């Protein structure tokens, strides 16, 4: 049975919260030794509460911390040919617990300004209290952001659209382009072709025709609300918002795990 069918049944039986709890405890148990070791060897590293890590990434301290830094470098490398990383305002939209953003001030020039926003108040509270040199703000599930028009040079959203409905794709793209300066860069990751196998056959047809496919087992924005964006869908989204596709890198499957597609987009406002 495809995973999606099982999830549908569990969702109907209201068993998903229970399964989530079991998964969380399972990850906690599986990582207990390495997490203990990491804490012992890195007493100064600030770690978010376990459940926040589980919800946004993976309950493995080593992976959370040591994977966040190369991801921040990877992010910068994807955009460095389009922007000189000096005196820029950079926003992490859907920053979660700051896994990537916390590393940026150390990686790029200190003349840049860093901002993080998320609709989950708990994450923003934790980030504000624990991560220095970055300004954090809350937003709601729906736009707007608490930033002025034309105020950001770069906005990135790592695995955010992957948890939103079609309506929200259009309203957020519109909002993110409002906040971006002319020639600003939007970096997004999506569930592209590498994730297509997770869809039922009839959903694959819709996906191929450029429709967004949603598996909404939980409320929108939650990790169990998953949406799938074909390149065709993304290109329509971009063209309707005057976004030029500078780069599209389809996700590969690495060690059996499908990676997300990367989109580097530019807004031209004049």
Ligand X SMILES: C[S@@+](CC[C@H](N)C(=O)[O-])C[C@H]1O[C@@H](n2cnc3c(N)ncnc32)[C@H](O)[C@@H]1O
- Residue 99 binds ligand X (CB under 6 A): yes
8 Å CB contact between 10 and 16: yes
Q: Is 221 in the site for ligand X (CB under 6 A)?
A: yes
Question: Does 128 interact with ligand X (rule: CB under 6 A)?
Answer: no
**In the range 13-72, which residues lie near ligand X by CB under 6 A?**
56-57
Regarding 217 and contact with ligand X (CB under 6 A), the answer is no
**Of the candidates 48, 61, 96, 184, which one interacts with ligand X according to CB under 6 A?**
96
Give the three-class secondary structure for 113: strand
Question: Of residues 35, 60, 89, 120, which one binds ligand X by CB under 6 A?
Answer: 120
Q: How many residues in the shown chain lie near ligand X by CB under 6 A?
A: 20
- CB nearer to ligand X: give 82 or 119: 119
Return d(Cα 181, Cα 203) in angstroms, integer.
37
Which of 262, 263, 258, 264 is CA-nearest to residue 196? 258
Q: Considering only 103-111, 117-125, 175-183, 258-266, which stretch makes contact with ligand X by CB under 6 A? A: 117-125
Helix orientation angle between 16-30 and 32-41, rounded to the nearest 10 degrees: 60
Closest-CA residue to 204 (of 230, 168, 172): 230
Nearest approach in angstroms of CB 141 to ligand X is 5
Q: Is 103 in the site for ligand X (CB under 6 A)?
A: no
Q: Specify which residues 257 forms β-bridges with.
A: 254
Three-class DSSP category at 131? coil
Instruction: Report how far apart the first and last C-alpha atoms of the chain are (Å, whole number).
Output: 51
Residues 137-176, interacting with ligand X (CB under 6 A): 139, 141, 158-160, 163
Q: Smallest distance from the beta carbon of 51 to ligand X, in angstroms?
A: 12
Q: Taking the CA atoms of 124, 155, 75 and 259 in sequence, report the sign of the dihedral they define.
A: positive
Residues lying near ligand X in the complex (CB under 6 A) are found at 56-57, 93-96, 99-100, 118-120, 123, 139, 141, 158-160, 163, 221, 223
């Amino acid at each position: 049975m495809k995973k999606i069918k099982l999830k549908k049944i569990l969702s109907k039986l209201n068993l998903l919260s229970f399964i989530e709890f079991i998964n969380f405890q399972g990850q906690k148990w599986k990582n207990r030794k390495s997490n203990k070791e990491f804490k012992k060897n890195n007493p100064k590293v600030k770690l978010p509460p376990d459940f926040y890590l589980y919800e946004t990434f993976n309950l493995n301290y080593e992976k959370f911390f040591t994977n966040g830094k190369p991801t921040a470098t990877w992010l910068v490398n994807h955009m460095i040919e389009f922007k000189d990383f000096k005196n820029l305002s950079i926003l992490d939209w859907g920053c979660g617990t700051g896994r990537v953003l916390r590393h940026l001030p150390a990686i790029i020039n200190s003349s840049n300004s860093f901002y993080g926003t998320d609709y989950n108040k708990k994450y923003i509270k934790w980030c504000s209290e624990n991560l220095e040199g970055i300004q954090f703000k809350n937003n709601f599930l729906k736009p707007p952001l608490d930033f002025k028009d034309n105020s950001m040079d770069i906005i990135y959203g790592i695995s955010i659209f992957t948890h939103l409905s079609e309506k929200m794709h259009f309203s957020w793209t519109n909002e993110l382009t409002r906040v971006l300066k002319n020639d600003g860069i939007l970096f997004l990751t999506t569930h592209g072709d590498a994730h297509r196998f997770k869809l039922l056959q009839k959903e694959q047809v819709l996906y191929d025709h450029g429709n967004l496919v949603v598996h909404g087992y939980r409320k929108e924005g939650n990790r169990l609300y998953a949406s799938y964006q074909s390149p065709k869908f993304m290109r329509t989204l971009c063209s309707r918002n005057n976004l030029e596709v500078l780069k599209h890198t389809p996700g590969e499957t690495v060690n059996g795990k499908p990676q997300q597609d990367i989109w580097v987009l530019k807004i031209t406002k004049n």
